[in-house]
Structure 1
Amino acid sequence: MKRTQLALATHGNLSLHKIASNSKDVVREFCPDDLSKELKSLELTDDNLPLQRSLGLYWNMNSDMFTFKISCEEKPLTRRGVLSVINSIYDPLGFASPVIIKGKLLLRQLSSGGTECDVPLGDLEGQKWQLWKESLSGLQDVSIPRQYVPCSLQGNVRNELHIFCDASEKAIAAVAYLRVICEGERHYVGFVIGKTKVAPTHGHTIPRLELCSALLAVEIYQLAKENLDIELQSVKFYSDSRVVLGYITNQTRRFLTYVSNRIEQILRHSTPEQWNYIRTELNPADIGTRGLTADKLQSSVWIRGPTEFLERQSIESDNASNPNTYQPEVNAYLSDVTSMHNSESESRSIACRFQQFSEWSRLVHAFGRLKTRARQQKMKRTEDSLVTFKESENFIISLVQHDVYGEEIHCIRTNKPLPKGSPLQALGPILDEEGILCVGGRLNKLRLDEYEKNPAIIPGSHHIATLLVRHHHQLLKHQGRHLTEGAVRSAGLWITGGKRLVSSVIHHCISCKKLRGKHGIQKMADLPADRLDQVPPFTNVGVDIFGPWQIITRKTRGGSASSKRWGVLFTCLVTRAVHIEIVDSLSSSAFINALRRVTSIRGKVKIFRSDRGTNFIRATDDFRIDTINVEDDTLKTFLYDSETKWILNPPHSSHFGGAWERMIGLVRNILTPCLWNQATKI
């Protein structure tokens, strides 16, 4: 360190100072100006060294331990105060991550309510926060050794890094431990680094969260590898999710983009052989997902490390004859899956693979190419080896029939009666020249094609029956059930339960739903209160203008002068009574005169409803009436003080005025025929 200090001063003109050490001999080698502030005035003969602070961590130089100091400053009982307290705990290595994660989860719960940052917390939330804040005082009793292990990291027999990961609905966590095997078969386990993160509130399943925790474990490994200046003989990862282990060890299946991207990052820095299974109760990362109180942190597995588990794993690894053997739990699980997969593969016929096809033509073409290739390999030449479409169809139908009706086919070939309870009893099945099971009958002497007299039997429960119905339904351009069923019969196919299957296919057909789907019916809202009030007629009125009609106003030398007249309809919103006034223009003054005539005859009106015609809006200003615009969030307070309100509908919303629009339609239907031949006489 002295040489480094001298080199920096000589070649870089830099002063290396604020030096601290728990060794008094090292401190004596430096002048007091180069020491830290706490050591400058210290008498080295004193046995007690001061508490050294660095980047928020406290180092007890007497015991060579890291400790925590919790601020006693009171913060406001708000979201801002909660965030301030959580961020005041500086823990870069993750010693207290299980304690801090509980505060972060509480903060997320407070944030989900949508309250402001400075709004005081409720009684229940405030009580939870106070309990957690008071428990932080237990962190001051936690002491973590500065050294990873009691022995030196150089010259050991073996250095191993073990990373554990886990996830829950609330949080994900990963923690790394260094296992050192010294001379004399002494084993030590030390905490390296740990991290916890709050899980997203929605949109993630548990397997995906477990995958995110595995990615966090790889990120921790990269961080430890860059900063640990030692050679690691072994690096192992542990997860209690068999789904994630299946993702990582998979070599054939393709996953969704979300999964494949994270698997790619994991395998970029690790290999499938490094991943192992661990039971949940033995996983130390499980503590990081559930949280822990500060008074239990010192004695938890999170700090001490899974010493017994790692020692047992080491013994099992040494006793294993095969170095590539999985852990016992994973090995048993994978062997069960492998044996199950092999037994299923042996029992499944090739007909079960038809489930992978969604179109009949693709299935036929695929087997046609496969059969053509096999025939070419067998005949050693390419001529006369092409398989036709019909030949491929017959081959597929034959495979399915042997898979479903194998017992019936055997009985027919051996001239035995069909088994009792067979679904083909009523069809009188026969075998044609190509060995396909067909419907029997009494039409053998009819001059028709064989496929029309004896159609092939297709099991309605098999996947190819759905493909065939879908194929002919698309050929008919999505016609109905009867035409589709007729097309299937005309193709020489007899599908058991065909009517029900055809109806099911058409019911699930997207194109048919678009073409023939029922239109949605809008559910009407409740009637406004002013249409239900028990008040005298024309207390609540709807207003609108209709027309125009051409009338003759005066005779002139050149002919007759005509002009237009409009009708103003006033309808009672409660009784539906109608009052009509005539206006000679659409001006506000003409409408105001009509309005005065109505009020003088019908009495005072409390509420007017209308659309947003310009004459209506001008009339409200001239009459000094309080106008209500329904698209405003709050009611405007006008300077006019009257007892009449005018409610205007939103722009381009004629459906808001259905009460008077319907009445206008009835009035027009009556007036139009009456005035049809009277235009020249009015």
Structure 2
Amino acid sequence: MHPLLIPRRHHVTELIVRHFHEKVYHQGRHFTEGAVRAAGFWIVGGKRAVSSTIFNCVTCRRLRGKEEEQIMADLPKDRLCSDPPFTYVGLDVFGPWPITARRTRGGHAETKRWAVIFVCMSIRAIHIEIIESMDTSSFINALRRFFAIRGAAKLLRSDCGTNFVSACKELQIDKKECHNKNIEAYLEDNSCQWQFNPPHASHMAGSWERMIGVARRILNAMLLQHGRAKLTHEVLVTFMAEVTAIVNARPLTTVSTDPEHPVILTPAILLTQKYGMPPVPPGQFESHDLFRGQWRRVQYLAEVFWARWRKEYISGLQDRRKWRTSRPNLQEGDVVLLKDG
């Protein structure tokens, strides 16, 4: 009937609100304010006082705190450059698969095989190499085969996930920079740099982790059709080549219904500048036909491909689907709770 009036900005008010907030087991403002009023206290501007106490409550932050987020950063320059394919590469190691190495009197001798996936950061094409072991020489051989087929790369990126951390231990490579003399010398000879993503930053490796998931699903479907037959090294290499061809033939942009653009843009088109396997044109061709403006036709075709890549694909990468607004950064002295996973 006659509640006790208390000012909002007072130490006693804060103690009272904190006491009843703990009484209702850290519920919201409605519960806390009701408990204060039922105890016979009338706080002038009580809603603000209760809200301030709940905002500074460490237990409430722990129970119902939101994860910190910031505006989505711009894409790295590697994703937007128009350099030749596989100039900027992200790589990872995945596997293993049991392989029948040889037949013996007692049965089949089995071993394991891993795969190194190289993903072009600009056109999202992939290249897969099979390695026999997780040692330095096998990994260097995979790099040599990749450079021999696709050309030297300027930058190699990799993450610090569980798959690659185990590979780093086997290859004796530090997570931040390369400390293996053989690999470091080989990279220096090819004018190549290696950058490792920060630990626990799996979002920075999304461009090639996504490709690993796609490759795994295609390979699992192939192995299912393979049945119970023993998997050999040759069969696995063939499967990986087919997986590479399927992934590189995927559309980079939305499939258009416009009849004037019937051809879809794929990584394979940017790699080979071919729409598919066209039949051999009829007629007789002589050597002097090679010098009749062929280089102009090839150059024009390449410009058409890269123009579509810039207009249709790059423009779609700039959209921010989440984390669109800028938020205040954490300051020194803030109480935070780390969330793992």
TM-score normalised by L of structure 1: 0.27
From the CA coordinates, give the structure whose radius of gyration is larger. 1
Larger RCO (CA within 8 A; separation ≥ 6): 2
